[in-house]
Amino acid sequence: MKAVVKDGIAVFSPQGFLDANSSNAFISLEDIEAATNIKADMILVSLKKVVFFNRNGLDIFVKLFSKIRKKNQAVVGFCDYDRKKYEAIKKFFHDELNFSLFKTLEIAHLFSNSFKNGGKNVLLYSGDKSQRSAMAIELHDSGHNPIVTQSFEEFNAKKANKNAYDYTVDSTFLGQMGQKVAARVTGNAIIYTVSSFLDAEISENFNIEYHNNSLNVGFRLFIFDVYKVVSMNIHALNFFSKLASSAAEYNATVCFVGMKFDKTPLAFKETMEDAGILFFAQMDDILQDKALLKELGASSASNVKNRRVLNKETVSELPKFIDATVVTLEMMTNAKAIKVGASVHDLSIEDKKGKIASSIGYYGDMDGMVVLVFPEPIAKKACELLIGESTNNTELILDTLAELVNIVGGRIKTLLADEAISVNITLPRTYQDVDSLMEVVANRKGVQVDLSFNGDQFLFFLTR
């Protein structure tokens, strides 16, 4: 069984009956290997479609959790259950509950570093006082407003006022939370979340390869969410100073948000400022200030340092890139693609109106970026299979387009792997209009392939 990964959370969804025999069959050795290699903040098993489980059935998954945590420190646990199942799990594992329990996947998202919108009013109850506090702290640190209730009666009474809260959280338990540096993309900025004590381990937990390739594909603003950092030592200071210096070569900016210097020498701040790191008190001080975002480069993401030319290797693998895109789009739209033309030049889009775009970078044995430009009707059509209905909600379409380009990226990775070329893919990016895309790929030469789906033009662009 494979996990579905979305917004930094990987979810396994077994169905039916979980006992020792069936659980073993759900998770093969290959699945364990794949799960431990998933780059996700959380790895959860959904019990939504499980009608029966016993301790032996859950044990198999709990052992898997332990292996995953040893390897990548992700948050692990179960989600999507009712109160009866919650009580049963707590009874089965009362002394060894070192994984997390989230009543719903939505609640898990609230506690995930990849959650996009902070500032939610969250009504909270747990029978365990320390859990109540732990959850309130986590939610507060993530920018939400937790409202803690002291009894289940109080929780239910307050919950009755449906409009007062965005979320209500009960039957939830926080086990060991994540330690690795989680990344998420908001607009053209990448936000990394770090916590507790920062020391030499930061260089192991931080995915420098991913960061460098984000620079390569045009990201210019990197924000470290350090609200939960208690202190840092000289090793972490050196790490961040180097990171800021290398970012400067790309004209990129590194920011720290929410850093307190009660337990960290104030001199560190000066050193970091000298290296070019900017400090802000609140995340909204950056994200809500459009002028500042523009100044910091998050709305103008052109890549200054790394304008590289297409190489022979990339061109020779071009058919695979096109194939991966065409097959995915054909699958999504159930329409046949016709290649209209291909040429090597800077990206050129004659009619920019009504078009949206997405891109994904790849790195490893080869590197580069695939850009897809869609007329809105095609984008909508392509997303219908994933969404399940026709929609005009631009945010939903862009989100789904990111999933789609992720499928394209995954397929490229597989096709290249067949030729023993190993690549990883970056997080996908989406662009609400062509102008914001042009800021990223301006003056970059690439292969442009014009395709037609049922008469609608669609554009593929491969660059480095």
Partner 1 sequence: MITKENINTYIEKIPPSSEILNETIALLRIGDLVKAAKVAQSDLALKSYLKNIVNKPIYGFKNEVSDVGQIFGILGVSLAQQSVYNYMISLLNPKKWVLFKLNSTLFHDLQANLSKKWETILKHLGYSDANIYAAIALLPASIIVTEALFAQKKEDVTMLRSAKALDYNTILKRLCGMGLFDICEQIANKWEMHPQIAQIIQAASGVKPSEDEESNNLGKWMHLLLFYELSQPEFISAGLNDFVDFQPEYISDIYEDFASLMEIA
Instruction: Give the binding site for partner 1 (CB under 8 A).
Output: 1-2, 4-6, 11, 13-18, 21-22, 24-26, 28, 48-52, 54, 327-328, 330-331, 334, 384-386, 388, 403-404, 406-407, 410-411, 414
Q: Please give the Cα distance from 395 to 401 (Å, whole number).
A: 10
CB of 402 to partner 1, least distance (A): 10
Residue number, 6 or 140, with CB nearest to partner 1: 6
Characterise 77 by phi-psi region: left (phi > 0), alpha (psi -120 to 50), beta (else): left
CB of 327 to partner 1, least distance (A): 7
Size of the chain in residues: 464
Residue number, 252 or 372, with CB nearest to partner 1: 372
CB of 21 to partner 1, least distance (A): 5
CB of 156 to partner 1, least distance (A): 22
Q: What are 357's two structure tokens? A: 């775009």
Indicate the DSSP class of residue 289. -
Residue number, 386 or 442, with CB nearest to partner 1: 386
Residue number, 330 or 365, with CB nearest to partner 1: 330
CB of 391 to partner 1, least distance (A): 13
CB of 2 to partner 1, least distance (A): 6
Residue number, 297 or 428, with CB nearest to partner 1: 428
Q: Please give the Cα distance from 397 to 392 (Å, whole number).
A: 8
Contacts of 30 by beta carbon, 8 Å cutoff, 6+ apart: none
**208: number of Cβ within 10 Å:** 13
Residue number, 14 or 218, with CB nearest to partner 1: 14
For residues 380 and 399, the answer to whether their CB atoms sit within 8 Å is no
Q: Please give the Cα distance from 418 to 420 (Å, whole number).
A: 5
Strands (E), 47-175: 50-53, 75-79, 100-102, 121-124, 145-148, 167-169
Contacts of 134 by beta carbon, 8 Å cutoff, 6+ apart: 174
Return the H-helix or E-strand segment holding 338: strand 337-346
CB of 74 to partner 1, least distance (A): 18
Output phi, psi for 379, to 5 deg.
-60, -45
Q: Please give the Cα distance from 372 to 323 (Å, whole number).
A: 13
Q: Any idea what the Cα angle at residue 188 is, between residues 270 and 35, rounded to 5°?
A: 95
Q: Please give the Cα distance from 352 to 354 (Å, whole number).
A: 7
Given CA atoms 338, 426, 380, 372 in this order, what sign does their dihedral have? negative
Q: Please give the Cα distance from 457 to 191 (Å, whole number).
A: 34
Q: What are 94's two structure tokens? A: 């009362």
Residue number, 89 or 296, with CB nearest to partner 1: 89
Residue number, 187 or 410, with CB nearest to partner 1: 410
Output phi, psi for 427, to 5 deg.
-70, 145
CB of 43 to partner 1, least distance (A): 15
Q: Please give the Cα distance from 367 to 357 (Å, whole number).
A: 20
Q: What are 115's two structure tokens? A: 């959650």
CB of 16 to partner 1, least distance (A): 4
Indicate the DSSP class of residue 162. G
- Of the candidates 410, 401, 359, 362, the one whose C-alpha atom is nearest the C-alpha of residue 379 is 401
CB of 258 to partner 1, least distance (A): 33
CB of 3 to partner 1, least distance (A): 8
Residue number, 54 or 306, with CB nearest to partner 1: 54
Residue number, 415 or 421, with CB nearest to partner 1: 415
Residue number, 267 or 331, with CB nearest to partner 1: 331
